[in-house]
Structure 1
């Protein structure tokens, strides 16, 4: 039975950007545009009770380039937890059909752009644990279906409730071939290059360059050639790649792939194969690609290959990442991990972080279900480990983690009195289980070519012999003597061309992306060439002193611009007539660290600040709310201490070496700024930390560690994941880490603005300091106008948005770019509710100024903290001693660089 209805026939829209569209993108009749917030309801009359699948015919309209997310409620309720996280893919492809090369003869990675089209998607599990589409039980009668948006807009034409038949087995299909008289073809071999993919579900699935093997095509031992697709980027459940096939003759074919799967041992990478939107037979819903070093030919079915009936003409072949037979096992381990973490928190509430080894806590009596849970989870882990061994065909390190955890659980069941002293090992093993869970979900596979062949044809094996491998290694070795790996993309070769030399100190992926954007837009539009070099930024100062530095340095720390400016080594950007317009791209707080002596010596690239992260489930368990003020924090600390849990304040850590500038601790800066204090007075000639406000802020900061015993150094992500630190203040980019690092607690946590200080008028001051990176023009730049054009281009709305999306497309959500550009930040793919919280905190961000000698502030503030907290020196005395050192250093630097005379002394 099938029940279909038009999306335009909705019964209600709740706070949603909804509008009607007619004959949209070739789809006749009305369609419904739904924005990235609010919900839409449809009332559906179901004539017969039963289980139904749900599908949507949708069009992914332009948004922020991320996956579309919706939640589904039926009659006002979530039918099950997974229905809160439904995903609908965007469609991506190469922007240009032909590959381009730089002037060194290297292929350039093709840029990915959206290729939207109408697609029908059946609602399924975005995590991949449930292989089949979701089924919803509906009674006979009227029901209300509600789709609520959490990220990205989409256009919906129609919805459908139906029952999707399961694909037949290969034996059934084979019998049908014989019955219909379908015969194998002969003498046909089609080769489709992997990098020529027709469409992908993500911009991360761009074609790759493989230089480690001579078996790929096209091949070069010295030049960059785009010749494969997939790899580690193609690893997450639900990601798919499609290729277009042009079959010359109707009949039966075998299908093979030239692949490399040297990523995961112990388990295998699994793919679901479909042709023209349908799985040909049941075995293709879980195609295994086992581990092997190097490239090989994988024929579906092995020595007795599966045969596929293909009609003459064009077809679309899709491979989709699937967890296959591992899906239920991984889900079981996730459930085990959640149960073990819950037990860990309960034990922690009794014993604390450092149990007394000679005390009998009797945890098994105070937590009656403890031993039953341990015994049940141990049994479950052993069953999973045995099943993994069967699937892999051998023992592996994949099952070792599970057996180690099971062994410890058994020992704790046998000797309950040892549980408290085993707590650290227990925590370590559950952390290992979490890492296993993350890695087991990853199913990478790299594809060089796809073969559609008659059963009588052999697949080519060029480049796989031992002699070819030796020749390849020798060629790459000799080529390495002549290639400058520091130079990225096009190189300026004409002496009369305007050019800018730019140094970047981040990774090669970032450098390649930036260079590609430079060649595509900046050089093309301005005629100015950019020589981009990937270097260690520690060489910037000596290179500048030697006259060998760049014109522009990118992604440098907050402290460098003023240090260069006081030495007349950085260019004052206020000299350019359009500086004011460019500065308006950023919040004024982002420019503060780069201001010196009425000039501005850098433009902000990134700007980061703290947010308050909290575990919703744990705070509900202990019955507390998210704190709004520091008084609320004090009350919360009492509850957390009672339950032996911790509150995380920004880590108080020493600089890794004497050459690294230690910024002032962000927690102290928060307390200081919320109280109306400042770091420097008298135009930066003196430290203001010895003021009444500065001393009171330091005292309050120290007391969190002396009176409340908070920890100074810790791994926030790990402790937040287990729930022993269910709330803490951390840099907002921690959000990206948690999204990828701890998928098992998705939906159980959130972040909000930091607690504030109540002002006299009753409002809350939530001020936080910011950090970040900048782009700097050196004073020795030969063509400062050209360098300024580059800096304007790089910090522009379009470039920053494009780079942010490219990096997230390249490396996933963990690489979400914390741009300082206000408009660009709004265009990055944040979930709506989370971005609203981020924007609320952004209103309270302040920059910390940099002054000559200011590098001593963070270091001496750290020393004062340790004298007060560890040395038990009275806080006022500790900070006053340190301020004297800071004053001396500022005075010496001001004197050295002539600032005292210019500003009239102190």
Structure 2
């Protein structure tokens, strides 16, 4: 291929710039880094009464004993109707309880160790409630957990058609394990302890969730670990062989979210210049408290070895920790807290004492080595931070109650008169933060500050500012507890960070010879590989390879992780069953479909397209009418008929719903309790609570307040439907927003802002909810997912409920939309039958459940799949209470039907509302003007599509899409 002079110039310029960046980066990386010198202190703080931490503090002086007690399944006292299986185990699948009858137990602290096999194939842990003589020993016992262990289901990593590695599927470990009951957050990796003596009669375990086969329970006494000096016998012989094991080749993991990652660094094996290789562990996971990975030491000779891990820990100026187990046991005390310091480069870290003396470990062929995320040293630090954050939030609310959110500068506040202990409070927070900062500095072991320490120092500085002028606190709450840069935000934003212990691993060495391969490539090796990668990027086959004649092409509007998994389960299930080959490709923007269709480059099927596309493209003749395809009625049975309404035009079906964007009410339990407010059930309840919220500088959120000037149907239509209003005339040829119920709904929407002072535009409901500014409101699936995964500071402080509604004729109408993404079949496809077979398979209950579980088990809990298939959604492993509320809210699903010109109705409704709220326009006269514009555009489009003539006379009837059409299709089949 001949390269033009211009192209050659561009390539050489780009290469020069790339070389410069590499050189600067390598120079920076090779500057003499500061070496961590951590001190293993155990910071302690007072614990809340009734917690496990308080229990441990109360029993700090309880002495060890060496008496254990074993209870085989045959000794369990079960509920009536429950029995021990023939294999000598209790098949614990129901939400029942069992009792252990105790007598004559030697007083002491005991672990509750279970010999069990998990039978749940989902990411949720097994949860048990434990009581002793009918009482909880501490709060955490109400949700004690057991890990589900996972293995990689494939013998080897597979590649896609371009040679890139694809995510490895997981399966539950089909064998018994012996593990103690743990706290629900897995902070205490040694397991929960209980205090037992001669007076204890019975321990009761009640299963809350999950399924397991339980073979036995053992009460194991708490024992102190031996020091390393006692572990290593005198004259121990060090074996000389060196063995390298890839960290990503895991034997066991105790959480489904622990997955392989990708590194393109030289020296990381397996290595490729141009392909993506799953060659490391821990790029986005393996950092939460209690996460553990186990490998098998495939060595040939028993003996004492050093252990060295090739790692990269790039959280600046921090040290992270791991606990080492051999065959499930911590070999000695010093193995509990093994430090890994910060480095921008890969480093070989030999497990050693703080003085640098390498530890020796006795290993035999086939032994297991486990590294567990160790957050134990940071538990009390995080607790202290949360305690300070909660106290500040509470104080901020108390100040708001006092001032009623009046921050007029002319008011002089005498804060000591209202809060006599105000100096004590503020100074206790600065003292507490000072203690936390000093503890972190010792555990991290760096002279420079980490991001966590910097934020804590900034928070301390803000508190000091308030101390210097306490009477200004009412006007400076943004320094303390409100806003994105307040002290509360700075502190609470680092609580999870403190507990997380990130570490990326490439390999580990079991060795006697201290000479190990260099962890990083040499300078000129990096340059050479970089040049090769630069030129290889111009011939990437993923941009040039076409579709084979015997394949159907499917475009997916999602990220690569989703596409890889869809391709994988399609090849492994659909193609295996039908023989139909499928090529799945990434589509970055579903707007490209129109251009692709015009150029005859369209796929056969597209997934993940916006829910408006089927109707819009269908009315223009681009898509196949799915109601003409065989078996379509059966396919529709798994959906709520309303889900299909947006995809109907002219009694034809042009798409299938794929995902559903549910809406629910979210609320802060802590704040509503403090304000003595109930969760609202109707909009009248909301109106009653708004003055109280406003009094304390708070508000309620409705999707109308999104940060956009265009108020879409998703935000306006729910009120119209709830009030019993209409959007279109019965014949669909004109708008009907002059309906009295519609006017009532529009008046209510406007009054929320004119009379009740809701914020008309909220940049981020998520942040306002976290910071307590808007403690209650209507959220969609996206925010629900954020609250689950990115709001640790309010974990356990929020919940969901049904959306408030309007009571009419004895029924509360909670109508809300939900259409999110759909799938479509192109009319130009030459393989419509095969493509339709794929669509039917993809939307089936079995496939949606398989994909959802595979997605979570492969990529983690951040990838919850909100399938539109109701049957499949009922089988997903979500929070059961939340799942029930979402399913009930779905019974109130109401979608806006699309007609030619409906976009003008949407736009003018928005304009009307904006005019009334911002310019105090008269609602009725504004709507009268708007309806003229709506009808003019609807008539123009109806003329274009042949429903009326130029005189506005009806030529053929237009049927507004509705659920009755869908129900008719399904009922006809039945």
Per the normalisation by structure 2, the TM-score is 0.85
When residues 537 and 368 of structure 1 are mapped into structure 2, their CA distance, relative to the original with a 3 A threshold, is farther
More strand by share: 1
Contact 1:687 1:886 (8 Å CA) reproduced: yes
Task: Name the structure 2 match of 1:564.
Answer: 617
State the match for 1:604 in structure 2. Answer: 657
Aligned to 1:157: 215
- Displacement of 1:421 after TM fit? 2.2
Which residue of structure 1 aligns with residue 456 of structure 2?
402
What is the rounded CA distance, in whole Å, between the counterparts of 2:546 and 2:210 in structure 1? Answer: 41
Pick from 325, 328, 340 the counterpart of residue 289 of structure 1.
340
1:701-740 superposed Cα distances (whole Å, 9 cap, x missing partner) = 2212221112223322223223332221111443321122
Aligned to 1:694: 742
Question: Counterpart of 1:20?
Answer: 83
1:547 is matched with which residue: 600, 605, 615? Answer: 600
> Is the Cα contact below 8 Å between 1:59 and 1:117 reproduced in 2?
yes
Give the aligned partner of residue 557 of structure 2.
505
Match of 1:679 in 2: 727
Of 128-137 and 684-693, deviating more is 128-137
- Residue 722 (str. 1) matches residue 771 (str. 2): yes
Structure 2: distance between partners of 1:786 and 1:22: 47
Look up the match of 2:792. 743
Partner of 1:422: 476
The answer for the alignment partner of 1:586 in structure 2 is 639
* SS of match in other structure, 2:941: helix
Counterparts of residues 852-891 of structure 1 (less than 5 Å) = 852-891=900-939
Task: Say if 1:268 and 1:852 are closer, same or farther in 2 by CA, change over 3 A.
Answer: farther
Q: Which residue of 2 aligns with 1:812?
A: 860
Preserved contact between residue 554 and residue 603 of structure 2 (Cα < 8 Å)? yes
Give the drift of 1:383: 1.9
DSSP 3-state at the match of 1:142: coil
C-alpha separation in 2, matches of 1:591 and 1:157: 49
Matched residues in 1 for 2:560 and 2:414: separation?
55
TM-score normalised over the length of structure 1? 0.91
Q: CA RMSD in A?
A: 2.6
Match of 2:330 in 1: 279
Equivalent residue for 1:356?
Answer: 408
Give runs of aligned pairs for residues 842-853 of structure 1, distance below 5 A.
842-853=890-901
Match of 1:2 among 57, 68, 78: 68
Paired position in structure 2 for 1:86: 144
C-alpha distance after superposition, 1:31-87 (max 9, x if no partner): 14143x565555544634443322222221134343223343444444333334433
Cα shift at 1:594: 0.4
Is the Cα contact below 8 Å between 1:131 and 1:327 reproduced in 2? no
SS at match of 1:168: coil
- Name the residue aligned to 1:704: 752
Per mean C-alpha deviation after superposition, the further-off stretch among 797-806 and 647-656 is 647-656
> What is the Cα deviation at residue 599 of structure 1?
0.6
Whole-angstrom distance in 1 between the partners of 2:557 and 2:747: 38
- Give me the whole-angstrom Cα distance separating, in 2, the residues matched to 1:79 and 1:30: 27
Change (3 A) 1:290 1:539: same
Q: Deviations over 1:834-867 (max 9, x none)?
A: 2222222222222221222222333322222221
Instruction: Give the structure 1 partner of residue 371 of structure 2.
Output: 319
Secondary structure in structure 2 of the residue aligned to 1:681: coil
Counterpart residue number, 2:92:
33
> Which whole-Å CA distance do the structure 2 matches of 1:594 and 1:573 have between them?
10
Match of 1:468 among 512, 525, 529: 525
Q: 1:106 to 1:258 in 2, by over 3 A?
A: same
Q: Does residue 1:299 correspond to 2:358, yes or no?
A: no
Is residue 2:816 matched to residue 1:758? no
The answer as to 2:264 corresponding to 1:205 is no
8 Å Cα contact 2:452-2:494 kept in structure 1: yes
Q: Which moved more, 1:340-349 or 1:674-683?
A: 674-683
- Matched ranges for 1:789-804 at <5 A: 789-804=837-852
Equivalent in the alignment of 1:64: 122
Q: Return the offset for 1:373.
A: 2.3
Matched ranges for 1:377-526 at <5 A? 377-392=429-444, 393-396=446-449, 397-426=451-480, 427=482, 428-429=485-486, 430-454=488-512, 456-461=513-518, 464-485=521-542, 494-495=548-549, 497=550, 499-526=551-578
Contact 2:463 2:479 in 1 (8 A): no
Q: Secondary structure at the match of 2:345?
A: strand
Determine the structure 1 residue equivalent to 2:783.
734
Q: 1:368 to 1:567 in 2, by over 3 A?
A: farther
Shift of 1:194: 1.7
Q: 1:360 to 1:871 in 2, by over 3 A?
A: same
Are the counterparts in 2 of residues 349 and 645 from structure 1 also a CA contact under 8 Å? no
Deviations 1:807-847 (A, max 9, x none): 33344333211110112212222122222222222222222
> What is the rounded CA distance, in whole Å, between the counterparts of 1:724 and 1:143 in structure 2?
49
In the alignment, structure 1 segments of 5+ residues that lack a partner are: none
Q: 1:459 to 1:19 in 2, by over 3 A?
A: farther
In structure 1, the residue matched to 2:50 is none
Against the structure 1 CA distance between its residues 494 and 716, is the aligned structure 2 distance closer, same or farther, given a 3 Å change threshold?
closer
Asked whether the 8 Å contact 2:259–2:859 carries over to 1, the reply is no
Alpha-carbon distance in structure 1 between the residues aligned to 2:682 and 2:760? 21
- The 3-state SS of whatever aligns with 2:642 is helix
Deviation for aligned residue 1:902: 4.8
Unmatched runs of 5 consecutive residues or more in structure 2: 1-66, 949-953, 960-974
SS in 1 for 2:788: helix
Deviation at residue 260 of structure 1 after TM alignment: 2.2
**How many Å apart are 1:331 and its aligned residue?**
2.4
Shift of 1:654: 5.8
Partner of 1:119: 177
Counterpart selection for 1:636 from 681, 686, 689: 689
- Distance in 2, Cα, partners of 1:712 & 1:840: 29
Question: For 2:120, what is the secondary structure of its paired residue?
Answer: coil
Distance in 1 separating the partners of 2:672 and 2:194: 32
Shift in Å, 1:253: 0.4
Q: 1:404 to 1:533 in 2, by over 3 A?
A: same
Distance (Å, rounded) in 1 between the aligned partners of 2:903 and 2:498: 45
- 2:57 equivalent in structure 1: none
What is the count of residue pairs matched by the alignment? 879
Instruction: Give the match for residue 135 of structure 1.
Output: 193
- Cα 1:172/1:651, change in 2 over 3 Å: farther
What secondary structure sits across from 2:818 in the alignment?
Answer: strand
Partner of 2:429: helix, strand, or coil?
Answer: helix
Per the TM alignment, residue 304 of structure 1 is displaced from its structure 2 partner at its CA by 4.6
- Kindly indicate whether residue 881 of structure 2 is the aligned counterpart of residue 833 of structure 1: yes
1:347 corresponding residue in structure 2: 399
